[in-house]
């Protein structure tokens, strides 16, 4: 994955002088609230901001929080997680209604797990805190379906620092403009490789 991130960084650098007609607005803040099919991340809240540097580059970052609880094998478990992310994004006009989007990023996720005994004793290792470095790279496109509806599709690679293998995901986003600056939408991601996982989020976006 790190080699992939390096290759994408080189591509971004080589494409840095390409002009763009600014089909889409890359200056915005957004709030996302959602859920996953993982008990450990049953509830999630994200706050993000994106700021364009020029016609082709933008920086996107933010903070997120997750919570989950579940009962298994006579034990009740809870997990609180929080983190931040920072991402560089390259966009290039393909047509008057379509942008190519390439990104690479880093995030740090911290989680605290607590085990409560119900009918079986929790081990001393059940109550843990850990931090994970996460590296991402993606390629996709933005497409205007109409004057007020926007679709995004992305293919994403994810690597967790302690893991031996990475994860690839698909991602679809559908946004509906309510006004010149306010949009609402839905974001759906799913694992293509490794364990079964999906995430669904509702988006509220304010553009500038």
Cα–Cα distance, 38 to 195 (Å, whole number): 10
**What tokens does 173 get?**
């986003």
- Which range marks the domain in which residue 44 is found? 2-66+83-107+134-207
Check pLDDT > 80 for residue 1. no
The predicted-structure confidence for 137-164, as pLDDT tens digits, reads as follows: 999 999 999 999 999 999 999 999 877 8
Q: What is the pLDDT of residue 16?
A: 47
The predicted-structure confidence for 28-53, as pLDDT tens digits, reads as follows: 999 999 999 999 999 999 999 999 99
Q: What is the pLDDT of residue 20?
A: 46
User: How many helices and strands in the chain, by DSSP H and E?
Assistant: 1, 10
Domain CATH for 12: 2.40.160
Tell whether 72 is covered by a domain: no
Average confidence (pLDDT) over 189-203: 94
The predicted-structure confidence for 67-110, as pLDDT tens digits, reads as follows: 999 998 888 999 999 999 999 999 999 998 999 999 999 999 99
Tell whether 184 is covered by a domain: yes
Q: Are the beta carbons of 204 and 30 closer than 8 angstroms?
A: yes
Q: Of all residues in the chain, what percent carry a pLDDT higher than 70? A: 88
- Cβ partners under 8 Å of residue 128, min gap 6: 112, 113
| Cβ burial, residue 206 (10 Å; 0-12/13-18/19+) | middle
Residue 40 gets which letter from DSSP? G
């Amino acid at each position: 994955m790190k080699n992939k991130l390096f290759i994408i960084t080189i591509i971004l650098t080589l494409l840095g002088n390409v002009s763009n007609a600014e089909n889409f607005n890359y200056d915005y803040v957004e709030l996302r609230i959602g859920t996953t099919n993982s008990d450990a991340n049953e509830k999630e809240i994200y706050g993000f901001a994106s700021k364009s540097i020029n016609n082709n580059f933008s920086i996107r970052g933010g903070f997120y929080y997750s919570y989950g609880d579940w009962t298994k094998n006579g034990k009740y478990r809870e997990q609180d997680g929080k983190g931040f992310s920072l991402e560089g994004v390259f966009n290039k006009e393909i047509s008057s209604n379509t942008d190519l989007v390439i990104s690479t990023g880093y995030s740090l996720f911290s989680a605290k797990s607590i085990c409560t005994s119900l009918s079986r004793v929790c081990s001393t290792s059940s109550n843990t805190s850990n931090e994970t470095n996460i590296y991402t790279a993606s390629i996709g496109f933005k497409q205007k379906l109409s004057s007020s509806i926007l679709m995004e599709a992305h293919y994403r690679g994810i690597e967790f620092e302690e893991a031996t293998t990475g994860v690839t995901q698909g991602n679809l986003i559908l946004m509906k403009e309510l006004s010149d600056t306010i949009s609402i939408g839905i974001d759906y991601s799913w694992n293509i490789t490794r364990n079964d996982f999906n995430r669904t989020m509702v988006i509220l976006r304010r553009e500038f």
